Chains A and B, each alone.
Chain A
Amino acid sequence: MSKSQYVRANYQVNATPQLKMLSDDQCESILNGALEVLERTGAEIHSQEALDVFKKGGCWVDGNMVRFPSHIVEWAIRNAPSRIVISNQKGERTLFLEGQNVYYGPGPTNTYTIDPFTGERRRPRKADTVRAAKVIDALPNISYAMDCGTVMDVTPTLSDVHAFQAMLENTNKPIIHWGFGIDQYQDIIDMAAVVAGGLEALQQNPFILLYSESSPPLRHSVEAIDKAIFAAKNNIPIVYTPCTFAGGVAPATMAATLVIAVADSLVGLVAGQLVRKGSGFVMGGLISTMDMASTILSYGAAELSLLSAGLTAVARYMKIPMFSTGGCTDSKVIDTQMGLEAAFSILIAGLSGANLIHDCSYMEYGATSSLELMTMDDEIIGMVKRILQGVEVDDEHLALDVINKVGPGGHYLAEDHTMKHFWGFWAPTLINRLRYDGWKAEGSKPMAQRVKEKTQDIINNHKPEPKSESVLAEIQAIVDRAEAREANKR
């Protein structure tokens, strides 16, 4: 456009959509509520090592009850890094957990899985995590791996170690992984160090995040809190994630549910910071509501999205990276409910700006893992990412000259401007926009069928970039070592 050479002053642009669930003042209220709970009510700690750490750090320890003076918690919040960069397994820095960058991935430890070939709902096997890792590796909008089910055809106490091996062998994406206890965590770090080229390389450029779950309200098992301490000692970032649900382990009000979740996360944070100031900490939260008819912890409720966005706002207020939830469902079958619940939570989690959004594979309120759901979620995430890109408003995009050229009653199909810009339209792969007759001619498939075909195709044909024989052998040796240790324990 031949406008004059204007310069715009005082011109503020929303480069992306803006969602703000809570005001800063409300975030401060939630945080103050959590600080008050920690200082007054305190938390129950079931680990002697952790009790010693807290006592030495100035917390008030009485038996296994620990109360936390606010200044110590605030000190820990100040010292936690506001950004953590996670690499892929080739050492390339890929996940920038900072600001409001958003990455999606699947979830861990389901007790069932749906076989994408037979449709059977059954206990997960190591081969299922192999399949999961391949699917994760192939899907562009899935940014990191989790195990997609507790492997049950191996030594039970080494399910975590075997699942980690299966993931290392079948994807090069970053991994967030849990462990039963400290021994297994050591195995996992050792394996990761092999891939990264040494422990120091792993610490400087981590491709793993450890994962620990506490049991709200305000109760931290040996395994949970010791893992936070272990991660800090080894200088590997950890996701500390209480699983808080309104009405059950927290009051029925949303604000109080946030208070419990924040307080429980902060217990893990304080432990880590007291062990090593500045150690990497990602605040968790599976947070939702308890369905008072069935007593499930709902993975599809509007409150999951509402609370997760609220918790993300508080994390952002504290400048601590956030681990949130989306892409999951209470449905037991691949149906419309699955689609709508997954879409709802993926959208709101994305708009909320949480850094890591997990459980894009959870169906049946988290009991069952579905690779087909993950494939479907990959498509939904694509749509949501297009929404997150927002709208550009400038002369090129306003296109007044093109509008004037086409004029009333014309069309834009043959314009250079259209040619240049229509590539920006999000291109569906599983979403179908065929006209009715064309769709019928192609077999009248529902989306579930297309999803199944794509998932099967990935499992059958995707070849992740392999690791060297020597790396694989070293990993196997660590697994063997773990097996020998567990055999001795029995």
Chain B
Amino acid sequence: MPVKSNYAENASPMFRILSPRQCEEILLAAQEVLERTGVTVYDEEARDTLKKAGCWVDDILVRIPSAVVDRALRSVPKRVTLCNSRTGSRDVRLEGYNAYFGTGSDTPFTIDPYTGKRQRSTKQSVSNACKVIDALENLDFVMSLGIVQDVPLLISDRHQFEAQVLNTGKPIVTTAHDIYGFADIIEMCEIIAGGEEELRRNPFMTLYAEPISPLQHAWEAASKLILAAKKGLPVVYTPCVMAGGTVPATMAGVLTQGLAESLSGLVINQSTREGSPFIMGGVFTIMDMATTIFSYGSPEFNLLMSCLADLAHYLKIPMFGTAGCSDSNLVDEQAGIEGALSIAMTALSGPNLNHDVGYIEYGSTSSLEFLTINNDVIGMARRLVRGIQVNDETLALDLIHKIGPGGHFLCEDHTMKHFKTETYYPNLIDRQRYESWVETGSKTLFERANEKVKDIIENYEPDPLPKDIQQKIRGIVERSEQKIAK
């Protein structure tokens, strides 16, 4: 066999939207926004921290000199690892171009897989969703896929977390109403992990917080960033911005302001404790000017997601992305199109922690069928991203010569050896011949997905938490209920 020299190969497809210089231009622009325009911060402790770090504080307006941002960019870790809460296995490594997929969290509605009706999400619907996520091989982490609305609203976040952690071992990205909710959830996690230090070393959860665009950090958000830093736990900070609404209508303007919002959150976090794990988020999209929705399916949404991934890689910060979601009000062709475009773009761009798989109705409703369908789409995208291996074994010139013109390769050992790894075989996507498809009931993809969802809900059992731990978690939920009862 010949020995090659000076041979460069693309071990995966190479994809990017912004050049390194364009990334730099946008970073510099965001720093200019922070230094000139500034952000408003509605939490006193955060303002004090920022002031100490060297920011210019004027009442609630904080302007951030570029050197402070530079320092935060230097201190933030390049990688964050999330674990399985049952096995402790460090499954989700948020670094480089690794792309993991998971669901979204707080939809008010969900589609009941048994009645097909759109209904308010409940503790039971969240439990079912987590079971389904736990069972799907291409889903890597969990968000609740619904707000629990059949419990006292003030402490519904505790119930929501309980429903999640009882039904899946996969890492959880958790929302909470405020730092008190967060504190209770962290306490639950520490019990499961076996202590505060254990949780910090092998976190199976990350907190989630959002600024309010344009350029505002509410008390809830800023205090969560501080709590996460004090606890040494990872936090996702994710601006949700609408081009033409809360950010400029131009894509570069969206990226600039969205990045400024993220970076000011980063400064709050890192100024509290340097080296705190921080995951940069961003759901950047357009406001649809006909309907005023925050679009989860537009091409601009996909484009901005990939650009933000380029920026995150440029800055070397783990990134929270968005994919597998749709503006459609039901799981139809449009949902398929929008889900596929966003998942393919995301897999190619490589943001790390990609949420909202299973959202329909521009993020207002969740669908377990859509989630299950997207499990296959993620498989397709992952196959694409594994790329084409070119070497003597895969080129197979001797085999081609052996078979010669007009032959076939079905009976070859080489085929047997490679066909399963070279080709992705989906679960629900149908490739039967027409006649067999008719024989098996002429089902649409949605119908097959619905059957699978029901099968998982009825027959799948996630690894349980030990009974005593379940009781301790229950205790924390009940304690919070007693508090509000007073």
Contacts and interface: CB of A to CB of B under 8 A. Distances in A.
Direct contact between A and B judged by beta carbons closer than 8 A: yes
B39 A390 contact: no
Interface in B185-219: 212, 214-216
B26 interface: yes
A19 B15 contact: yes
A412 to B, nearest CB: 6
Given A25-B9, A339-B340, A248 B389 contact: no
Contact of A36 (B32, B243, B397, B404): B397
Contact of B256 (A383, A398, A411): A398
Interface in B229-249: 243-249
B168 interface: no
B409 A411 contact: no
Contacts, number: 445
B393 interface: yes
Nearest to B376: A340
Interface stretch (A26-34, A185-193, A278-286): A26-34
B297 A431 contact: yes
A409 B288 CA distance: 20
B397 A306 contact: no
Interface in B250-304: 250-253, 255-257, 260, 286, 288-291, 293, 295, 297-300, 302-304
A185 B379 CA distance: 43
Contacts of B437: 332
A421 B289 CA distance: 12
Nearest to A413: B245
B307 interface: yes
Contacts of B40: 408-409
A483 interface: no
Given A253-B393, A400-B32, A43 B361 contact: no
B431 A296 contact: yes
Q: How large is the interface on B (under 10, 10 to 19, 20 to 34, 35 or more residues)?
A: 35 or more
Interface string A326-345: 00001111111111111110
Nearest to B373: A336
A21 interface: yes
A258 interface: yes
Interface in B292-339: 293, 295, 297-300, 302-304, 306-307, 327-339
A477 interface: no
B90 interface: no
A446 interface: yes
A151 B395 CA distance: 39
Interface stretch (B133-141, B172-180, B421-429, B452-460): B421-429
A302 B424 contact: yes
A29 B390 contact: yes
Contacts of A302: 379-381, 383-384, 424
Nearest to A386: B299
15 contacts: A21-B10, A33-B395, A247-B409, A376-B333, A390-B17, A391-B17, A391-B304, A397-B251, A403-B248, A408-B214, A424-B250, A425-B286, A431-B337, A446-B333, A447-B333
Interface of A: 10-14, 17-26, 29-30, 33, 36-37, 40-44, 65, 215, 217-219, 246-256, 258-260, 289, 291-294, 296, 298, 300-303, 305-307, 309-310, 330-344, 347-348, 351, 364-365, 367-368, 376, 379-380, 383-384, 386-387, 390-394, 396-400, 402-404, 406-413, 415, 417-418, 420-422, 424-426, 428, 430-436, 438-440, 444, 446-448, 451
